[in-house]
Amino acid sequence: MRPAAAKAGVKKHIGWQTFRHSIGTLLNTNGENIKTIQELLRHANSRITLEYYVQGDIEVKRRALKTSMSGLFVVRPLAKAS
């Protein structure tokens, strides 16, 4: 794992566990079914996959917040100063 990471320009220490977390998150972000991810990572059940291996994508979180907040707050144009 380390030689491949170094070749890719990754400076941080990376091991198989880090790689598995990254793959789980990437597959989830790309819309893969959680059951598929669970089986690819060879977890006993999908709860392990969801709770420990899959992280929320920051851009998806931002879009969700923006969508939610736009329903709560109305943005009005600023009044022009005379």
Q: Per-residue pLDDT averaged across 36-40, rounded?
A: 95
Compute the distance between CA of residue 64 and CA of residue 77 in angstroms, rounded to an integer. 23
Q: Count of CB atoms within 10 A of residue 37's CB?
A: 22
Report the domain count for the chain: 1
Instruction: Establish if 79 belongs to a structural domain.
Output: no
**Quick one: CA torsion of 62, 37, 13, 10, rounded to 10 degrees?**
-70
Q: Answer whether residue 43 shows pLDDT above 90.
A: yes
Domain span at 9: 2-72
Out of 16-25, 60-69, 70-79, least confident range: 70-79
